[in-house]
Each structure stands twice: as structure tokens, then as C-alpha cells.
């Protein structure tokens, strides 16, 4: 495999996790008391006119048109004001998916599945074709048994479920083989999808209207179902009732897959974006409207991508570049955009809220209430490192950073302790910092004012160390995300060593898997040569358990 080292050089990644609730019209009449308690929400329906959200108190609400009883209220009554879905409250709902049929499926933290809505094609998996007015438990139905489900996905009238063991189950409409049973009869209870996937661990699933995709732990894609537009990426237009390897992506480890109405997108672990399938609205981003039956790299002139998004509800594609820039293409508010177009959004989710038809979420989105807060944000940003208003300076590597004690005390437990009267730092106007670099400490203080981080993966390692030392768990997660998004062959060994040092277990596992997928190239890098003996031994031991060495 060949690598373009220049493309592995990552500039600063702008980290923000803000999804403005005001961008989704369905929430425009919500009482302000809801704004700060929404944990995550899904928007769906033929016009983006139905929504379900889960609060931080673990209550579940729905509002909107209630087509086919998809609000889960046990009735057919529509409402512009939220009503509780009583049977889901306090159940620990962590994920939801919806089909355009329509039907809705929810999964709880302990891996149980609930379904409701239209059921004319058995898509609820409850053993019959009667529509569900309210959520019913289906985890113990059919062959799924007591398996713990970790991810769900819906097509128009079929459903997929992924278990913690990496096994996949499917049910519902199967006229094109989208359930993956090898036949075309509808399936009314969860049935295991095996065939060529037997013995392979699936880590991600996605559904188009009438086709399905699965991603294995080794970065391989498998597709099945309707293929009239080449959406299975097999090089032909023949429907497939059983999973088939998308072999048009060679010598590439895929890290993310998504499905549109009749097209698919995949992102490699080195940031290369692939597209295939229907292209009547330019949703493949190749500059024309010709369908593609094989996976094709796109937008290489833009550089590395870190996230890609699409939903079976519409013909829109969107992706985020390594610097945080969001691009969109496809059917955007009635216009056909055939090449990725740069936007001013800070989240791919906002593209679906503002330009998709219908405006449906491609995943459950987390909201933060920023109504009335934008002016405050601007004021805080202006106050950061402002010598005219500050009452404290940090001296780092000979440079001053001007801050305000009150803000630091409000935002950080470390500073609340530091500025107590019996501490020496409490009365100082200048505090010298020697254990962290200027870019790292400046980024940390900037984060306290803005809740954002702009750093390269290399500097994010230092900030990860600081977050670990100061017990800033949210900041630590942001640093881990920056590092994941910026990993490449040249820095993988260094990033894994840092993850081991700072006891970031999830990050260490991510870096290890990336290194295993590119082992030949990684061990030849300068970063690998600089690894200490303990890290090398740890890598060798884990690689052996992974199966990298053969007898």
C-alpha cells in the first residue's frame, strides 16, 4: 500500500460539539424549560415534522404529525407540544433509528430493542404485521434471544441490529434481499445474517431505502439488497439476497460507512472518501450525474476527511474536512450540487437541518442551548488574553497569557482549589507554568473561555496530559477525538505511546488497531523507531493476540 505522507500532515482541528436546536423547525415551539434538558433527539417524517427526544433525566418525549403512530403514544393524535412516551421513560434509551415506511426502533443501554409504527412488512420484528401504536420490546423475539444490541439501523421497511459480539440480525421487507437471508421472503422476527459474514466481527451497519451495508473490524465492507443503481458497489446492477464483499475498495481500511436513499459513502482510516450508487442529484460528488457501480475516491483535492454523513431519507451527502470545514452536495433545497460545496456550518448535522428534503437527522443528535448565549460567547472570546480587563497572567515559555480569576474558578476545579486564600497562588498577579508548553496551556485556557479546542494531534497529546492532570474529563475526550481524527501512518506509533502513557484505554485501542491495519508501513516510520522498550513489547504482545504473526 502506498501512502502520501504530505496528506498525513494535519493542521489544527477545530473541535466543537454544538448542534443548534433552533435550526430544526419542529422544535421552534418548545418551551424553554426543555432546551437545557434534551440529551439527544431524532427528527424524521415526510417533511421533518416528527421528533422524539430523550432528556438528561431519562424521560422520552415525542411531538409532531404522528403518521402511522410513530410518536409511540398509543394513539394517532398529532401534537406540536411534547408528550411523554411513558413506556420508554427511565429505560435508558441510548440510540434510535427510523424507517421512512415509517417505523421507529430504539435500543437501551442494556441492549434491549423496542419498536413501533408501521408494520405492513414485518419491520417491527414482533412476529406479525399489525402496526404498533406504542413501543414494544422485541429483544427476546426470534433468534435474537438475549443478545445485547449495541447499534440499530433502518431502511424504508427493514431493520438491522448489531450485537456486542459483532453479530448482525435483520428483519422486515425483503423483496430485494435487503434482509440478507439469501431469499426474498419477508422476515417477521430477528434473523441472524451470516453467509460470508460468518466468523467475521461486524463493527458498523447502515441502511439505504432497500439495501444494507456492514463494516467489519478489519475495514471490509459487505452489501446486499437492491442494486439497480449500483449502490452495493459490486460493479454491476444485480440485486443480492446475501452479503457480498465490496471488492472495489482494495488495500484500504474503511472506518465509516453511511447510506443515502440509493447511494453509499465510505471513509477510510486515512481520510480518503469513496462514493458509489445513484447520482441523479449529484449526491456522489463527482461533478456529474452518472451513477457509479464501483466505489470511487472523490474530492481528493480537498484533502483528508474526518467524518461523512448521509441518510436513506434523502439524496444529500455531507462530510467534514480535517480542519473542521463542512461540505455538502446532492439535492440541497431543490438544487443539484454535483461537487462538494464548502459551508459555514460547524457540524454535518446542520446540513440536514437546513438543506435536506425532508429535514431528517442522519443520527441522534445532541443539542446544547445557545439561545441568547451567542453574545456571551463573543464577549468571553474577546475577553480572553485581553490585558486591559484581565487580573491574572500566566507566564509560559517566556510569554504571557492574560486571564480572569473569576472565569477560571467557575470553569475549572483545579483553579477553584488554587485560588483559595491559603494557597500562595491566590495573591499572585503572575503565575509561571513550567510543566506544559505555551501552545498547550494557551489552548487549555482558551477552552475554558470557549469550550472549543484548536490543536494539532501532536499538541493534543500535551493537552491530554494536562486534562489528565487537572481531571478535566470532557477536555480529555475532546483531545482523544482530535488525536483519532488526525492519526496517520507517520504519527500512529507516537500517538499510541501517548495513549499508553496517559492511560487513555479507548484511544490506545484505536491507535493499536490503526497500527495493525497498516503495520508494515508503521514499523518503518521514524516515530516507531523512537518508541521505548516497554511500548514496543506491549505492541508486540498485543499484535500476537491480534493474530498479526503466523506460524
Q: Tens of pLDDT along the chain (551 residues)?
A: 222 323 333 334 444 444 567 789 999 888 877 877 899 999 999 889 999 999 999 999 999 999 999 999 999 999 999 999 999 999 999 999 999 989 999 999 999 999 999 999 999 999 999 989 999 999 655 567 778 999 999 999 999 999 999 999 999 999 999 999 999 999 999 999 988 999 899 999 999 999 999 999 999 999 999 999 999 999 999 999 999 999 899 889 999 999 999 999 999 999 999 999 999 999 999 999 999 999 999 999 999 999 999 999 999 999 999 888 999 999 999 999 999 999 999 899 999 999 999 999 999 998 754 444 556 677 888 999 999 999 999 999 999 999 999 999 999 999 998 888 767 666 788 999 999 999 999 999 999 998 889 888 888 989 999 998 999 999 998 998 898 888 999 999 999 988 888 888 888 899 999 999 998 999 999 999 999 998 898 888 888 888 777 65
> What pLDDT was estimated at residue 461?
87
CA dihedral 467, 473, 474, 477 (to 10 degrees): 80
C-alpha to C-alpha distance for 213 and 153, rounded to whole angstroms: 10
Sequence ranges of the chain with CATH classification 3.30.710.10: 374-546
> What pLDDT was estimated at residue 367?
72
> What pLDDT was estimated at residue 22?
74
Three cell numbers written together for 94: 441510548
SS3 for 258?
strand
C-alpha to C-alpha distance for 338 and 329, rounded to whole angstroms: 6
| CA 509 centroid distance within chain | 18
Sequence ranges of the chain with CATH classification 2.130.10.30: 12-254
Positive or negative, the CA dihedral 142, 143, 149, 155 is: negative
Report domain 12-254's class: mainly beta
> What pLDDT was estimated at residue 305?
96
> What pLDDT was estimated at residue 42?
96
Fold type of domain 374-546 = Potassium Channel Kv1.1; Chain A (3.30.710)
Report yes or no: 171 and 125 within 8 Å, Cβ to Cβ: yes
SS3 for 254?
strand
Three cell numbers written together for 370: 445557545
The count of other CB atoms within 10 Å of the CB of residue 520 is 8
SS3 for 9?
coil
Report yes or no: 192 and 143 within 8 Å, Cβ to Cβ: yes
C-alpha to C-alpha distance for 17 and 350, rounded to whole angstroms: 11
Side-chain half-sphere of 499: how many Cα atoms within 13 Å? Answer: 27
158-163: strand order across its sheet = 149-154, 158-163, 168-172, 187-193
Residues, the chain: 551
Q: Is the peptide bond before 548 cis (omega within 30 degrees of 0)?
A: no
Amino acid at each position: 500500500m502506498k501512502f502520501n505522507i504530505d496528506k498525513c500532515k494535519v493542521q489544527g482541528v477545530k473541535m466543537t460539539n454544538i448542534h443548534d436546536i433552533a435550526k430544526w423547525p419542529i422544535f421552534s415551539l418548545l418551551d424553554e424549560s426543555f432546551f437545557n434538558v434534551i440529551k439527544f433527539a431524532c427528527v424524521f417524517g415526510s417533511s421533518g415534522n416528527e421528533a422524539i427526544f430523550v432528556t438528561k433525566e431519562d424521560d422520552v418525549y415525542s411531538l409532531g404529525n404522528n403518521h402511522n403512530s410513530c410518536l409511540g403514544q398509543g394513539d394517532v393524535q398529532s401534537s406540536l407540544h411534547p408528550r411523554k412516551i411513558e413506556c420508554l421513560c427511565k429505560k435508558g434509551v441510548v440510540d434510535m433509528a427510523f424507517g421512512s415506511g415509517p417505523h421507529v426502533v430504539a435500543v437501551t443501554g442494556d441492549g434491549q430493542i423496542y419498536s413501533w409504527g408501521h408494520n405492513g412488512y414485518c419491520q417491527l420484528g414482533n412476529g406479525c404485521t399489525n402496526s404498533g401504536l406504542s413501543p414494544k420490546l422485541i429483544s427476546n423475539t426470534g433468534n435474537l434471544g438475549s443478545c445485547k444490541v449495541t447499534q440499530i439501523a433502518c431502511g424504508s421497511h427493514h431493520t438491522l441490529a448489531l450485537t456486542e459480539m459483532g453479530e448482525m440480525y435483520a428483519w422486515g421487507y425483503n423483496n430485494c434481499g435487503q434482509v440478507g437471508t439469501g431469499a426474498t421472503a419477508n422476515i417477521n422476527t430477528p434473523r441472524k445474517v451470516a453467509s460470508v459474514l460468518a466468523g467475521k466481527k461486524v463493527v458498523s451497519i447502515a441502511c439505504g431505502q432497500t439495501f444494507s451495508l456492514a463494516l467489519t473490524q478489519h475495514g471490509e465492507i459487505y452489501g446486499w439488497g437492491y442494486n439497480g443503481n449500483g449502490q452495493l458497489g459490486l460493479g454491476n446492477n444485480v440485486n443480492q439476497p446475501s452479503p457480498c464483499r465490496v471488492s472495489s475498495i482494495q488495500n484500504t481500511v474503511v472506518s465509516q460507512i453511511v447510506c443515502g436513499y440509493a447511494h453509499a459513502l465510505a471513509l477510510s482510516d486515512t481520510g480518503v472518501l469513496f462514493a458509489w450508487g445513484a447520482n441523479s442529484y449529484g449526491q456522489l460528488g463527482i461533478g456529474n450525474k452518472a451513477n457509479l457501480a464501483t466505489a470511487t475516491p472523490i474530492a481528493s483535492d480537498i484533502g483528508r476527511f474526518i467524518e461523512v454523513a448521509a441518510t436513506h431519507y434523502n439524496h444529500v451527502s455531507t462530510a467534514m474536512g480535517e480542519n473542521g470545514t463542512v461540505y455538502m452536495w446532492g439535492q440541497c433545497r431543490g438544487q443539484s450540487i454535483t461537487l462538494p460545496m464548502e459551508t459555514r456550518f460547524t457540524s454535518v448535522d446542520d446540513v440536514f437541518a437546513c438543506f435536506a428534503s425532508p429535514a431528517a437527522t442522519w443520527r441522534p443528535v445532541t443539542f446544547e442551548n445557545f439561545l441568547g448565549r451567542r453574545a456571551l460567547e463573543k464577549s468571553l472570546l474577546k475577553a480572553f488574553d485581553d490585558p486591559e480587563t484581565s487580573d491574572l497572567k500566566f507566564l509560559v515559555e517566556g510569554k504571557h497569557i492574560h486571564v480572569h480569576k473569576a472565569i477560571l474558578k467557575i470553569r475549572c476545579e483545579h483553579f477553584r482549589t488554587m485560588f483559595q486564600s491559603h494557597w500562595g497562588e491566590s495573591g499572585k498577579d503572575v503565575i509561571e507554568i513550567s510543566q506544559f508548553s505555551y501552545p498547550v496551556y494557551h489552548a487549555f485556557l482558551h477552552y475554558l473561555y470557549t469550550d472549543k479546542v484548536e490543536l494539532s494531534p501532536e499538541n493534543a497529546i500535551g493537552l491530554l496530559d494536562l486534562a489528565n492532570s487537572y481531571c478535566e474529563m470532557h477536555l480529555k475526550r475532546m483531545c482523544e477525538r482530535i488525536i483519532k481524527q488526525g492519526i496517520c501512518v507517520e504519527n500512529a506509533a507516537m500517538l499510541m505511546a501517548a495513549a499508553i502513557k496517559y492511560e487513555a484505554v479507548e484511544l490506545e485501542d484505536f491507535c493499536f488497531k490503526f497500527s495493525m491495519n497498516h503495520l508494515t508501513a508503521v514499523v518503518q516510520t521514524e516515530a516507531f523507531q523512537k518508541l521505548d522498550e516497554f511500548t514496543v513489547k506491549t505492541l508486540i504482545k498485543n499484535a500476537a493476540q491480534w493474530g498479526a504473526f503466523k506460524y
